[in-house]
């Protein structure tokens, strides 16, 4: 019947958050976005938010310790037992190893890594457009390019990590949001 424990991988602006919203609606599973949780912590002025803000604004990754902590807490909530879309987590090899450990404890390993691929100039343009619409602090050109560099150095190696486990389904993220959704859903059904 297709995978329901899903890691969504992709560069900033590849469409992770956008497509996660479609997938969770179709499969009725929770959307777990560490980016959204961190922005909520910043907005609420919590201790984690205060630590994360400057790092996020600079386009760098928040520490593994903090992010693994919030992911662990969220994954232990009852609704995660029916599956989940992890959006933006893991972002480093250490986070991926920690995730495996957390899910081993729960007895529910990752089933599929959906990787959305998009050309760099396309994502830069998307994020600059979002900057105009939403004014997110990390959506300016310099920070966007830094986020791309961080993605290539720290997150792209996860393709190999999940690839070795035979879990990666690559989907081209160019084209309309609807057409990308169709490709992702059929990749999931085949997983």
Instruction: List residues near ligand B4P by CB under 6 A.
Output: 12-18, 34-35, 38, 55-56, 59, 61-62, 67, 88-89, 91, 95, 126-127, 130, 138, 147, 176-177, 180
* Collapsed DSSP state (helix, strand, coil) of residue 62: coil
Give the single-character DSSP code of 126: H
Q: Least distance to ligand B4P from the beta carbon of 78, Å?
A: 23
Q: Would you call 39 a catalytic residue per the annotation? A: no
Close Cβ partners of 89 (under 8 Å, ≥ 6 residues apart): 7, 32, 33, 34, 67, 71, 95, 99
Q: Would you call 147 a catalytic residue per the annotation? A: yes
For the record, the structure tokens of 136 come out as 């997110």
Query: How many whole angstroms separate alpha carbon 32 and alpha carbon 75?
Result: 8
CB of 97 or CB of 166, closer to ligand B4P: 97
State the DSSP string of 78-113. GGGGG-EEEES---SHHHHHHHHHHHHHHT----EE
Q: Would you call 136 a catalytic residue per the annotation? A: yes
Q: Least distance to ligand B4P from the beta carbon of 109, Å?
A: 18
CB of 17 or CB of 49, closer to ligand B4P: 17
Q: Least distance to ligand B4P from the beta carbon of 160, Å?
A: 18
**Residues acting as catalytic residues:** 16, 91, 130, 136, 147
């Amino acid at each position: 019947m297709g995978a329901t424990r899903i890691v969504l991988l992709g560069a900033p602006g590849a469409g992770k958050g956008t497509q996660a919203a479609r997938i969770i609606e179709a499969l009725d599973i929770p959307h777990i976005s560490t980016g959204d949780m961190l922005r909520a912590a910043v907005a609420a002025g919590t201790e984690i938010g205060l630590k994360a803000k400057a790092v996020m604004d600079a386009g760098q990754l928040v520490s593994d310790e903090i992010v693994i902590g919030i992911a662990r807490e969220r994954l232990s909530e009852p609704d995660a037992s029916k599956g989940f879309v992890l959006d933006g987590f893991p972002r480093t090899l250490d986070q991926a190893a920690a995730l495996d450990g957390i899910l081993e404890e729960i007895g529910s390993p990752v089933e599929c890594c959906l990787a959305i691929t998009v050309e760099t100039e396309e994502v830069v343009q998307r994020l600059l457009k979002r900057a105009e619409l939403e004014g997110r602090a990390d959506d300016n050109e310099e920070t966007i390019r830094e986020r791309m560099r961080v993605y290539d150095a720290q997150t792209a190696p996860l393709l190999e990590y999940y690839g070795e486990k035979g879990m990666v389904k690559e989907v081209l993220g160019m084209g309309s949001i609807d057409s990308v959704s169709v490709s992702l859903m059929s990749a999931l059904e085949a997983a």
